[in-house]
Amino acid sequence: MAVGLSKISELLPVKGVQVSACIAGIYKEKREDLALISFGSNSNCAAVFTQNAFCAAPVIVAKKHIKEGKPNYCLINSGNANAGLGERGIEATMDVCRHLADYTGASVENVLPFSTGVIAEPLPVKKIKNAIPTLVDILIADAWSHVANAILTTDTLAKGISKKLDLPDGEITITGIAKGSGMIRPKMATMLAYIATDADIDETLLQSLLSDVVEDSFNCISIDGDTSTNDACFMVATGESRVDEIKSFDDGSGLLFRNALLEVCVYLAQAIVRDGEGATKFISIDVIDGASRKECREVALTVANSPLVKTAFFASDPNWGRILAAIGRTELSALDVGSISISLNDVKIVERGQRAESYTEAKGQHVMDQEEIIVHISMGRGSASAVIWTCDLSHEYIRINSEYRS
């Protein structure tokens, strides 16, 4: 069961965007597994994709199309990653893109494909093509929750959030959805995320904004240290809010919008961790007083990805020596262990590189028994900081992944 995560509440429609989802028979169980997001040609789009060298066919095609065309559609399937198939995968992706383009009268470059699911299985092209007329015919503004459910794989809950900004010259809406539960240590974004707004933002500025916000949200999570072949985060700004164009995010309405978008992305990123495969604890690794943000992130990720640390959290075992050992293997230059302090929530466990005098096993156990834990690490070598959100590693994670294809 997801840690501190409940079912999504109302997801607001975004002016200029229509969405739909249907049962195409791709997923192993009968459920919505194919989705479509549609938006006007005057919209501006931005995206970030996986840095995995073995990126999936839809990632290759989507990156090409977003450069060459003016996207109108996002076509998303779950149950099949269409990855590890070489040219055959590319041809399958292009086949479904052409079919949607032909049916709607769009150019094939205007279709962005996305897939998630099992790697190295042929994409069920016929099933997708057969379902496309239904997807197009049922497009409406208010079906975001259906899309959020259709893109799930091992997730236990759909993930979505909406925010409405009341600005001096009008109202702006942001709605975002995401999926992800395993194979999560993004090096760009999450498994799949889609964000829509009716704000008016230049395409270049939008891309810069999304890349920055992703760095402080989706790039701050890790469930198991693995980067997917299919990761993508897509954003569209339709410009239909009638609010003046946002030309800067430094102050005024632009800053308010940036902060709201960051809140949306942080919520979705944390929701993925809270719904991590088999997760029973939500853990924040908060590193401060580092020489640089980069080294703080390295320390936080090393702790977050340590199987020994993660299994100790699952067992509610205050074996804090595992945290200290993880920090020590980060290969930071001139690391002074005597400068490091560590706390679990408000319980000091390490001071100046050794067990804190005030620490007791009972205090440590009290913290470890909780579902949400903050690991505070002070490096004592600068003023930089970084945070990584992660979860524990349980028996259930192993079961889910050992049975994934069965």
CB atoms within 10 A of CB 216: 14
Q: Which helix (H) or strand (E) covers residue 87, if one does? A: helix 86-104
With CA atoms as reference, report the closest residue to 231 among 189, 267, 266, 182.
189
Phi, psi of 246 (to 5 degrees): -85, 120
CA angle 261, 266, 272 (to 5 degrees): 130
3-state secondary structure 237-265: ECCCCCCCCECCCCCHHHHHHHHHHHHHH
C-alpha to C-alpha distance for 148 and 299, rounded to whole angstroms = 33
190 is catalytic: yes
Do 212 and 193 touch, CB atoms closer than 8 A? no
Q: Are 199 and 260 in contact (CB under 8 A)?
A: no
Maximal CA-CA distance, the chain: 72
Contact yes or no for 337/351 (Cβ under 8 A): no
Return d(Cα 9, Cα 263) in angstroms, integer.
Answer: 16
C-alpha–C-alpha distance, residues 327 and 349, integer Å: 14
Please tell me which residue in 104, 154, 175, 190 is annotated as part of the active site: 190
Q: Which residues share a beta bridge with 376? A: 286, 343
CA distances from 45 to 36, 72, 159, 201, 246 (A): 16, 9, 21, 9, 15
Distance of CA 376 to the CA centre of its chain: 23
For 137, the token pair is: 């015919």
Whether residue 75 contacts residue 108, with contact meaning beta carbons closer than 8 Å, is answered with no
Going 277 to 275 to 143 to 207, the CA torsion angle's sign is negative
Query: Please, are residues 342 and 325 in contact by the beta-carbon 8 Å criterion?
Result: no
Query: What distance in Å separates the CA atoms of residue 308 and residue 321, rounded to the nearest whole number?
Result: 10
Active site residues: 190
